[in-house]
Structure 1
């Protein structure tokens, strides 16, 4: 697989502010809601940033739209290709229709049906969907091949400064709504979201701590963080399908500038968090979006007396999966 680790990726707060201007009026400023039950359970003040209410049901539309706007006329004419676990591709599909660009989307076999259908619905005739292999890395390998052999512009879902800056607009909104947060819990997949949020958060409140959260089924950040060098890990199927896959060294290096560390939660903790959010907040949240709440409920980090922001990154979960989780985890 091609790795794009050669060049340093180092977006700044000015890039996030530019992204905010680009996205103004085109995405939602999603709610930041205090969670009374989580605050009571954890002994801190907990606020949920509800990106499951974003267009396309995920924060990913922020980075996808911001990146697509930077295509040159020649790149738009040739078309683009991307690999996605499902949410980034919806943003690409939306932008492809808006800008009149042909887009090929490669998703892995673990991509939920609800995400596949949403990609096709949003993209219409502008989007070609390819299901490749089982895990995200399989889809990315195919996307890289298509870019190389067919002259398409490859759009990374995370290792791209414009994608990271777009994700950073979430962090701006969070601190506009709650400017005195002490700690953030952010889902950690490829690294675009946590780095973007960290850029905005540290610019507005330098003392804030930022922690990434993964599933034990796919935790390259947790394994790679102590040494600062990417190490290989074994993947297993996960409720947090959007967080699965490799991480690039470029984004580990970027995270080292601002991120405090990474936590891992069990699959049962993720299921419990999804059910908790449904029961207590009436929110439909996918596994990837629930990992921060899972970390709090499982006691993975002490937030006593602190003000905590939790990024709920998306809500695109198959109905059958959600029903299964609700049936088995509500009493957990």
Structure 2
């Protein structure tokens, strides 16, 4: 049996991490509202520590460890935001973080992880190399693995973003999140369905990385094979725990084109004056493509992060 978090686990996570994580603002844009014909609210996790919602889950996982386990450190394989989030959370607790990163990870992400004081082991950029290298690191150090999304405490931590959004901005008819591994989406769905049982939870995914879409509608876990999208935070396959929650609590998953992701990202930069990464723009892209009907509806969206290479902007 998979150990699945419930809303009380999200409440516990919120109590635990509020000393460490930012309580991020909720913004709206009258310009964007007039374009889409609905009332949109954006939860700005691009302004979270390490620039992404991932800090919530990593922080909850690290601070939930027993003293004995914490002293042996934490470990994960990640090329991105989770690596930085885990490294910072470990530093805050005063324990070691061991990060396995593919050798082709973006330089900006390597620098961030090193800057938070983690010890990095580089490996070949294949899932097999990542997993076998991580297994070796754990064997040598005794560290606890903190998976980026298929982890009880990580899911509970990610669910705190939607909890804050609903507590701040009241009733929503729809709440949206992007979906990659499913950590943010599964946590969001648990919070939303508990606090607003009639609210629809809708996920958006790039058409070039549509494994969650195919998994959801076929009711079987379809792995992500050679995904191609600018939204590099959404390249991973769904985790088992995440998939079980998504099947139970998510109402729909829609896919969007690369052109729409770029257009949505640009719209948020231009109208709201905030920096978001492509993955964050995917839900708005679905609204712009009219894959989700927001006419006269109140819609909450989680802007998942703001980490990107400013030298490689798509517009």
For residue 138 of structure 1, report the CA deviation from its aligned partner: 5.1
- Unaligned ranges ≥5, structure 1: 1-6, 327-332
Show the counterpart of 1:330: none
The counterpart of 2:48, out of the listed 51, 54, 62, is: 54
Q: Give the conservation status (yes or no) of the 8 Å contact 1:109–1:135.
A: no
Greater Cα offset, 10-19 or 68-77: 68-77
Q: Between 252-261 and 57-66, report the one with greater CA deviation.
A: 252-261
Q: Secondary structure at the match of 2:193?
A: helix
Q: Matched residue of 1:11: which SS?
A: coil
- Residue in 1 that maps onto 2:303: 312
Shift of 1:173: 0.7
In the TM superposition, residue 149 of structure 1 has moved relative to its aligned partner by 5.9
Query: Secondary structure of 1:226's partner?
Result: helix
1:137/1:246 contact within 8 Å kept = no
Paired with 2:70 and 2:40, the residues of 1 have a C-alpha distance of 43
- On the 8 A contact 2:223/2:238 being kept in 1, the answer is no
Any idea what the Cα deviations from partners look like across 1:204-253, whole Å, max 9, x if unmatched? 11001111111122221011111211023422342211111121233211
Q: Aligned with 1:142: secondary structure?
A: helix
Aligned residues: 315
Does residue 1:232 correspond to 2:226, yes or no?
no
Q: SS where residue 219 of structure 2 aligns?
A: coil
8 Å CA contact 2:180–2:233 kept in 1: the answer is: yes
Aligned residue in 2 for 1:101: 95
Task: Give the counterpart of 1:43 among 37, 45, 50.
Answer: 37
Query: Are residues 219 and 135 of structure 1, via their aligned partners in 2, closer, same or farther at CA, if it must alter by over 3 Å?
Result: farther
Secondary structure at 2:204 match in 1: strand
Equivalents in 2 of 1:49, 1:136: separation in Å? 32
Contact 2:162–2:302 (CA<8 Å) still a contact in 1? no
CA contact (8 A) 2:27 2:41 kept: yes
Distance 2:135 2:257 in 1: 32
Equivalent residue number for residue 258 of structure 2? 267
Q: Is residue 2:65 matched to residue 1:71?
A: yes
What TM-score do you get using the length of structure 2 for normalisation?
0.94
What are the residue-to-residue correspondences of 1:34-183 with 2, within 5 Å?
A: 34-108=28-102, 111-122=105-116, 124=117, 127-134=118-125, 139-148=130-139, 150-183=141-174
1:257 aligned onto 2:248? yes
CA 1:56 to 1:137, structure 2 compared with 1: closer, same or farther past 3 Å? farther
Alpha-carbon spacing, 1:307–1:111, altered in 2? closer, same or farther (3 Å): farther
CA shift, 1:130, in A, is 3.0
Aligned mates of 1:46, 1:27 — CA distance in 2: 24
Q: What's the counterpart of residue 16 of structure 1?
A: 10
Q: Secondary structure at the match of 2:218?
A: coil
Write the distance in 1 (CA, Å) between the matches of 2:93 and 2:242.
29
Q: 1:130 is paired with a residue of what secondary structure?
A: strand
The alignment's TM-score, normalised by the length of structure 1, stands at 0.89
Within the alignment, does 1:283 sit opposite 2:274 as a pair?
A: yes
Measured in 2, the distance between the counterparts of 1:193 and 1:112 equals 22
How has the CA–CA distance of structure 1 residues 248 and 296 changed in structure 2, closer, same or farther, with 3 Å as cutoff? same
Consecutive unaligned residues in structure 2, runs of 5 or more: none
Deviations 1:129-153 (A, max 9, x none): 2343336675345324533565331
> Using the alignment, how far apart are the partners of 1:135 and 1:214 within structure 2?
22
Cα distance in 1, alignment partners of residues 310 and 282 from structure 2 = 19
For residues 136 and 86 of structure 1, what CA distance do their matches in structure 2 show?
14
Cα displacement string for residues 79-136 of structure 1 (whole angstroms, at most 9, x for unaligned residues): 22112231111121112212221111123456432222111112x2xx1123433366
